[in-house]
Amino acid sequence: DTAVSQTPKYLVTQMGNDKSIKCEQNLGHDTMYWYKQDSKKFLKIMFSYNNKELIINETVPNRFSPKSPDKAHLNLHINSLELGDSAVYFCASSRRAGGNYGYTFGSGTRLTVV
Amino acid sequence: AQSVAQPEDQVNVAEGNPLTVKCTYSVSGNPYLFWYVQYPNRGLQFLLKYITGDNLVKGSYGFEAEFNKSQTSFHLKKPSALVSDSALYFCAVRDVVSIFGTGTRLQVFP
């Protein structure tokens, strides 16, 4: 069983389109995250949810909107896609927010905006 | 603010030789430090963590890391490198969320 699963794995779309990425974890973790990895492999936190509540919202354009219907799911919707949004987006989860818990990552969604 | 630095973009080592991947940290208070590995086209995988206690932490795949408070370092080590260890390695410090270093590419040559 995949612990943190993301769909789709690859996403190619045109500028201006709206797209969503889904994430689900079956670990019973309370906290979920979205990270963006750019072409230089830098990882940057975008959002964090704890028990469906948004706790971290970094400086991310308003075109990005996370949604957590329950603590096992954290989806990312992106409006009006731009070329600069091309990256790999990783979902992750941890048992609790903060503290000494490591993360379990999904395998990533490679978004290419053309 | 918490941060980590990985001073080397790439580390090259021959198979069978010991390897070290460097990480230094800057935190206020007690650090929670982590190492992750990323293989091509995969998500990051947790290797090990330091919370408190012994300065030498053992993790997955024969890796270990040494916490050094005076040097504010948390270097990743392995006594004998394998070609299959070739990957991208990230150091991280835990704040409200994990802050990752810029990554170090480890290349192990046969």
- pLDDT tens, residue by residue, A12-55: 999 999 999 999 999 999 999 999 999 999 999 999 999 888 88
A97 pLDDT tier (thresholds 50, 70, 90): confident
Q: Are A107 and A7 in contact (CB under 8 A)?
A: no
| A39: containing domain | 4-113
Nearest-angstrom CA–CA distance, B90 and A114: 30
In the numeric block, the tokens 């509540």 are attached to A53
Q: Rounded to a whole number, what is the distance in Å from the CA of B30 to chain A's nearest CA?
A: 11
Mean pLDDT for chain A?
A: 93
- Does pLDDT of A100 surpass 70? yes
| B58: containing domain | 3-109
Average pLDDT over residues A102-107: 95
Q: Which pair of structure tokens corresponds to residue B97?
A: 């969320």
Nearest-angstrom CA–CA distance, A66 and A34: 9
> How many other C-beta atoms can be found within 10 angstroms of the C-beta atom of residue B51?
15
| Number of separate domains in chain B | 1
Report the percentage of chain A scoring pLDDT > 90: 82
Question: Measured between alpha carbons, how far is residue B63 from residues A16, A105, B58 in Å?
Answer: 45, 19, 6
Please indicate if any CB of chain A lies within 8 Å of the CB of B3.
Answer: no
Q: Rounded to a whole number, what is the distance in Å from the CA of A18 to chain B's nearest CA?
A: 24
Average pLDDT over residues A78-88: 97
Q: Which of A42, A56, A100 sits opposite B94 (nearest CB)?
A: A100
Phi and psi at residue A16, to the nearest 5°: 95, -15
Which of B67, B96, B105, B106 to mutate: most A Cβ within 10 Å? B96
Nearest to A34 by CA among A85, A94, A98, A92: A92
- pLDDT at residue B1, as a whole number: 77
Which of B:47-86 have CB within 8 Å of A? Answer: 49, 51
Task: Check A102 against B88: CB less than 8 A apart.
Answer: no
Nearest-angstrom CA–CA distance, A98 and B81: 33
- pLDDT at residue A1, as a whole number: 66
The single-letter DSSP state of residue A42 is -
Task: Check A48 against B36: CB less than 8 A apart.
Answer: no
Please report, for the domain that includes residue B88, its CATH number.
2.60.40.10
- pLDDT at residue B34, as a whole number: 96
Q: Cβ neighbours of residue B16 under 8 Å, at least 6 residues apart?
A: B80, B81
Q: Which pair of structure tokens corresponds to residue A9?
A: 């794995």
**Which residues in chain B touch residue A103, judged by CB atoms under 8 angstroms apart?**
34, 36, 44, 46, 98
Query: What is the separation, in whole angstroms, between the first and last Cα of chain A?
Result: 34
* Beta strands B56-58; B104-109: pairing state: unpaired
| Number of separate domains in chain A | 1
Nearest-angstrom CA–CA distance, B67 and B10: 21
Q: For chains A and B, what is the number of CB pairs under 8 angstroms?
A: 59
Question: Measured between alpha carbons, how far is residue B35 from residues A56, A76, B76, B77 in Å?
Answer: 22, 26, 8, 11
Kindly compute the dihedral angle of the four CA atoms of residues A38, A43, A48, A51, in this order, to the nearest 10 degrees.
110
**Which residues in chain A touch residue B49, judged by CB atoms under 8 angstroms apart?**
100, 102
